[in-house]
Amino acid sequence: MPFDVRRFDIYRKVPKDLTQPTYTGAFISILCCVFILFLFLSELTGFIATEIVNELYVDDPDKNSGGKIDVSLNISLPNLHCDLLGLDIQDEMGRHEVGHIDNSMKIPLNHGTGCRFEGEFTINKVPGNFHVSTHSATAQPQKPDMTHNIHMLTFGDKLQMNKVQGAFNALGGSDKLSSNPLASHDYILKIVPTIYESLSGRKRFSYQYTVANKEYVAYSHTGRIVPAIWFRYDLSPITVKYTERRQPFYRFITTICAIVGGTFTVAGIVDSCIFTASEAWKKIQLGKLS
């Protein structure tokens, strides 16, 4: 007797002449297919899209930076001449640089009466400050006007992902044009290291920061102290990491199978109940007629 592999078929077929189609079954079948299509498209959209997962830990993420952080500053002082304006940098490692000029540019504003400073520089990963002032000028003005508008202040790589909610440019748009012209401004920054890892595994190192600020006119025993715009910073030991993730393919397939199988099973139960109830009602009606 030849071996018949069909004996292993667990999906036995019922001949069509032994089945009975109904309008209710057709309606449920169409509704079932539409429902499955809707759930399939929803799952497919979720599978294609990426999600951002964040975590916190204590570490220095960018160890290969040599202990340096890139800084980008863009600030306008509409009532201070460019010849008087300079950037000074100092920190707890002994750095003290007056009149930093590398990778910086001064753009005259208001027919030369004001100045826009744009600069890129590095700071050490230790507490310190950088400040915009007239300290590097050869002659100090009698009434330096420190009213200003900060367009941008960022640290590290620039991240422009809409999904990431963070304070990467917390001082962007700060307007101090109506403040006391002779006042100094202190911006106290708490810098938080941030990593963004894409689906490809590429890491970008940036920094978020929080800000507290105060405005004051300082005096000493020799008279009024020359005002400045101070950015005093300290680093947080906590690192924030954002990771792009996508749903695994096996989970997507599992979900699709569950959707199709579950929907057909529930629809079959509903159709069977309706058909049984209908047949029972017909028998009751026939019994009454007889």
- Exposure pattern of 164-195 as b/e (b: 16+ CB <10 Å)? bebebbbbeebebeeeeeebbbbbbbebbbbb
Q: Which residues pair with 70 in a beta bridge?
A: 122
pLDDT at 162: 67
pLDDT at 16: 74
Are the beta carbons of 53 and 241 closer than 8 angstroms?
no
pLDDT at 143: 86
Backbone angles phi, psi at 101, to 5 degrees: -125, -15
pLDDT at 113: 93
Distance CA 270, CA 101 (A): 78
Distance CA 63, CA 159 (A): 19
pLDDT at 158: 85
Are the beta carbons of 200 and 160 closer than 8 angstroms?
no
Are the beta carbons of 287 and 33 closer than 8 angstroms?
no
Any residues with CB less than 8 A from the CB of 19 and at least 6 apart, and which? none
pLDDT at 188: 97
Phi-psi region of 172 (alpha: psi -120 to 50; beta: other; left: phi over 0): beta
Helix/strand/coil for 9: coil
Q: Which residues of the chain have pLDDT under 70?
A: 1-3, 18, 161-163, 221, 288-290
pLDDT at 21: 80
pLDDT at 289: 61
Measuring CA to CA, which residue among 249, 94, 223, 242 is closest to residue 166?
Answer: 242
Structure tokens at 256: 């699709």
**Largest Cα–Cα distance of the chain, in whole Å?**
120
pLDDT at 23: 80
pLDDT at 276: 84
